[in-house]
Chain A
């Protein structure tokens, strides 16, 4: 039941919260943290600075090809490899990653170290130095 006391107390709490929300740091720090004043994008927060838009573009192509397989061709950096596996598992399904290009329908080249030559049936440039090759 609403009473004058309850309205006044609740109003005071809401007012205090509003003041803290617009106050300078450090007073607003807890609210800034919880409300995430610097909003994130829809993308995963990758550990390695991946080109998220390119991965989405490649994912749209590979995932629409059904239960195919793909091979990741990139530089020998553990964090980069880790994040590319996770990102492709997220966006490339139902396609499945394989450890060898011999078993792959697709090669996902993410700024690879060397210039391996692939006999590609079709090539998609999805980002800067990021290509998707249909090899089978």
Chain B
């Protein structure tokens, strides 16, 4: 089949699973409309299959093709059965875009759509022509997945053990996996991709990342379509894709891009729930949130931080917050077997909450505070790396907030600001913070920046749209429509 065919087949199966799982919400829609949910289906299918396999791995299951086939079949059957027998509790409500008001608006939207297509084709071509440039991918992300497939979750490979340190010259290396605290989703997905390919071909990693990015753009466009004018939405997405660092990291092989994708979609779905009380959005918040939590250790912390920001700023919609936090709690529950397994086998987090909350520890490591502020600040504000995404998110957020006199529009700048503070704090409390800042700060900033960037079209829409009549709780809904 070849590595391109293997990656394609894996993504087609995941898309099919996603469509089956979403079938209860999509029933009754026309085939052409259902086709526009392909990006959502791809990301939902990949997310939920991976989360299911991460859930069963700590119970001793080997995570290979058989486990994948069983879970994919079970999830698909459950989705189709729900669509057949359950009442329509959850419905996708696709909106249609308004006709362009002028030829200029039409031309702008068309040019942006064509630009997006060009970039995504290049991302796919480049992905399949490149091996990940970051050694984490072949050093531990993929080997962990291979271990789950061949021997299962063997504590001897995960548990930090000084007797498994070996010296090569003046430095030692460990014979167990480094960063054993990270969850398993990305490792599981990478191994499945390799199993579909039939051999270890590192170009398949970047091919998979390219598919996830294509799915992300498709899903974001679908979820915002009809709620934002196309001549604002499509240039906004093109702007996101114009960030050189996003495209570079999509060929890096690491888990930060998948985390950024799923975190952004979770928060976007959460906004969909708060603004429109769409149960479909709530389901998506659960599915995407579960994946974000299972991709990297910091995923759950970033998700809680971003949803806390949203909850405070969208307090007028507080009656909708309980179901939202319930969905996130359910998403978190999917990671409990992994956390219990880690605790049972002394696989501790590299981030120590005790250090993070200890004034004496922090006061003895203020050099890391200065380093964190500077290095992370440089990465957050680099126009060479992230184009105009950060300045625009701040500027448009402030303008929209002033124009509407609504704090909720400050959410994207708040995601950036609190994300910055969060990673400075984590680095400050990390005994290896100096190393990690140099080695990883450029990746820490990816999820908050991508998250803020998906809201750029929404902010632009808010600014150019007629000012809403803000009365009562309905204003929260109107403000994001």
Contact = CB atoms under 8 A, between A and B. Distances in A.
A34 interface: yes
B119 A34 contact: yes
Nearest to A20: B118
B106 A77 contact: no
Given A76-B169, A80-B168, A91-B200, A39 B129 contact: yes
A34 B122 contact: yes
A31 B122 contact: yes
A-side interface size class: 35 or more
A43 B110 contact: no
B164 interface: yes
Contacts of A86: 135, 138-140, 143
Contact of B131 (A6, A43, A99): A43
Contact of A76 (B115, B157, B168, B247): B168
A77 B173 CA distance: 11
Interface string A4-25: 0110011011100100000000
A31 B107 CA distance: 23
A52 to B, nearest CB: 10
A10 B114 CA distance: 5
Contact of A97 (B122, B154, B175): B175
B143 A35 contact: no
B167 interface: yes
B462 interface: no
B201 interface: yes
Given A81-B168, A97-B175, A36 B114 contact: no
B-side interface size class: 35 or more
B123 A34 contact: yes
Contact of B139 (A33, A89, A94): A89
A44 B132 CA distance: 7
B15 interface: no
A53 interface: no
A123 B55 CA distance: 42
Contacts of B247: 33-34
Contact of B171 (A46, A78, A87): A78
Interface in B284-301: none
Given A13-B118, A36-B126, A74 B150 contact: no
A7 B450 CA distance: 31
Contact of A42 (B103, B140, B157, B203): B203
A35 B147 contact: no
A72 interface: yes
B111 interface: yes
B381 interface: no
A130 B132 CA distance: 25
Nearest to A99: B166
A87 B137 CA distance: 11
A111 interface: no
A45 interface: yes
Contacts of B143: 86, 89-90, 93
B138 A90 contact: yes
B170 to A, nearest CB: 7
A98 interface: yes
A93 B194 CA distance: 14
A93 B147 contact: yes
B125 interface: yes
Contacts of B157: 96
A17 B106 CA distance: 20
Interface centre among B111, B138, B177, B244 (most CB of A within 10 A): B138
Interface string B156-181: 11000001111111110111010000
A91 B202 CA distance: 12
Interface of A: 3, 5-6, 9-10, 12-14, 17, 30-31, 33-36, 39-47, 63, 67, 72, 74-78, 80-83, 85-87, 89-91, 93-94, 96-99
16 contacts: A5-B107, A9-B107, A9-B114, A13-B111, A14-B114, A33-B247, A36-B125, A40-B129, A44-B132, A45-B202, A77-B169, A81-B171, A86-B140, A87-B138, A93-B147, A96-B156
